[in-house]
């Protein structure tokens, strides 16, 4: 009788048990990892990494420590992981008018650092009812009726936003792009071009006036940064430096210079004229002329009985109100239907029963 060996069967069963055991151990390890991760996250977002110090740095002389902290919306005790640094930066810029930039970052394990820079007035932007004072990065600082000395005046910009604290934008896309390039140039370095005015009324023919009396006919709104740099290089050339005259772009990469004995002027170009000023130096902007109140001829006359008869010719009642708004009858058509001016009797005769208030009635001859 032959012996039966069961070695292979035992070995096969043992392998299955080992694989099952490994799978269970893997699941156990995964569950333990998730529990540990959850516990760690809970600790991080609750008990650990809470703020116990807020440090303010940068140029913040305009505002106090507490004003900046209040504007950020962050308090001691808040969790570093749970705060929204982007939101806090924007809140500082929105609430503190003279803060140009704000950088909020976490310094683990328990410190929050806020760095701010102050706004630097860089442009006077003239519009039909005033002058916007704008920072180097394009933030509106004030809506004045005077110019801030020592910074350029921009004419013809057509701003569509005049609210301090907002970013300056234009109704004209090309003019807006010109201003963005000016901002970009000022951001790169502390440039001082000596520019006194920029005329943007026609974005295809931009004119730049310098304090030296030089006038630069830049051309269109493209490559503003490059053109200004080219003009600066020409003015600093030994053959041109200190002279008065005017520069003109030729093509896209050349600039010509011509001299004059007097401060430069360009034939056919009329630079902006300034409105008069009062005794304090504030600009006086023209007011709209007063207009006569609207007049309506109803082509009728009151015969004394309270009934308005139609009239021949152009004679009739003319009516206007003190609010200088167009007058219409209760029918909504603005035309006298012969009973609009009548006072209704007990039977309702007379029609509209209008309450004139401060309206005045004139007889039209």
Cα(357)–Cα(38) distance, integer angstroms:
74
Q: What are phi and psi of 130, to 5 degrees?
A: 170, -165
Residue 147 has pLDDT above 60, yes or no: yes
For residues 121 and 127, give the distance between their C-alpha atoms in angstroms, rounded to a whole number.
Answer: 17
pLDDT attached to residue 46: 60
Contact 118/98 with Cβ under 8 angstroms? yes
Q: What is the mean pLDDT of residues 66-83?
A: 92
Averaged over 153-168, what is the pLDDT? 94
Q: Of residues 281 and 69, which shows the higher confidence score?
A: 69
Q: Do 103 and 115 contact (CB within 8 A), yes or no?
A: yes
Closest CA to 341 of 308, 303, 300, 319: 308
- Decide: 334 and 344 in contact? Cβ < 8 Å: no
Whole-number pLDDT of residue 280: 79
Q: Is a pLDDT exceeding 90 seen at residue 177?
A: yes
Please state the pTM of the whole predicted model.
0.64
Report the range of poorest mean pLDDT among 35-44, 147-156, 229-238. 35-44
Q: Residue 281: its pLDDT value, please?
A: 76
Average pLDDT of 21-35?
Answer: 67
Cβ atoms of 181 and 188 closer than 8 Å: no
The yes-or-no verdict on residue 7 having pLDDT over 60 is no
pLDDT single digits (tens) 15-25:
666 666 666 66
Identify the weakest region by mean pLDDT among 124-133, 159-168, 313-322, 340-349: 313-322
* Per-residue pLDDT at 304 exceeds 60: no
Cα(2)–Cα(25) distance, integer angstroms: 42
Q: What are the pLDDT digits (tens) for 50-71? A: 899 999 999 877 899 999 999 9
Q: Which tens digit of pLDDT belongs to each residue from 225-264?
A: 999 999 999 998 998 888 888 899 988 888 888 886 454 5
More confident residue, 271 or 113: 113
Q: What is the pLDDT of residue 353?
A: 42
């Amino acid at each position: 009788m032959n012996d039966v060996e069961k070695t292979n069967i035992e070995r096969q069963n043992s392998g299955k048990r080992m694989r099952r055991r490994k799978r269970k151990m893997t699941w156990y390890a995964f569950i333990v990892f998730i529990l540990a991760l959850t516990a760690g996250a809970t600790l991080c977002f609750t008990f650990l990494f809470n703020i116990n110090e807020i440090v303010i740095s940068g140029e913040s002389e305009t505002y106090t420590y507490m004003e900046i902290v209040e504007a950020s919306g962050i308090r001691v005790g808040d969790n570093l992981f749970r705060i929204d640094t982007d939101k806090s930066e924007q809140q500082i810029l929105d609430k503190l008018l003279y803060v140009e930039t704000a950088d909020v970052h976490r310094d683990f394990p328990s410190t929050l650092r806020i760095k701010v820079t102050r706004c630097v007035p860089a442009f006077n932007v003239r519009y039909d009812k005033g002058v916007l004072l704008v920072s180097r990065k394009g933030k509106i600082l004030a809506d004045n009726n005077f110019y801030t000395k020592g910074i350029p005046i921009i004419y013809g910009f057509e701003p569509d936003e005049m609210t301090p604290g907002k970013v300056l934008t234009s109704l004209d896309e090309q003019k807006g792009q010109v201003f963005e390039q000016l901002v970009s140039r000022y951001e790169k370095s502390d440039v001082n071009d000596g520019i006194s005015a920029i005329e943007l009324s026609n974005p295809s023919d931009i004119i730049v006036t310098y304090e030296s009396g030089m006038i630069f006919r830049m051309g269109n709104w493209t490559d503003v940064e490059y053109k200004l740099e080219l003009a600066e290089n020409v003015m600093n050339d030994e053959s041109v430096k200190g002279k008065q005259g005017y520069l003109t772009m030729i093509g896209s990469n050349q600039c010509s210079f011509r001299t004059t004995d007097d401060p430069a002027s360009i034939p056919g170009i009329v630079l902006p004229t300034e409105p008069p000023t009062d005794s304090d130096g504030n600009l006086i902007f023209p007011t709209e002329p007063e207009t006569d109140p609207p007049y309506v001829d109803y082509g009728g006359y009151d015969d004394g009985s309270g009934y308005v008869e139609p009239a021949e010719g152009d004679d009739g009642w003319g009516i206007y109100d003190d609010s200088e708004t167009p007058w219409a009858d209760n029918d909504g058509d603005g035309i006298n239907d012969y009973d609009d001016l009548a006072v209704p009797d007990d039977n309702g005769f007379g029609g509209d029963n209008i309450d004139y208030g401060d309206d005045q009635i004139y007889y039209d001859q």
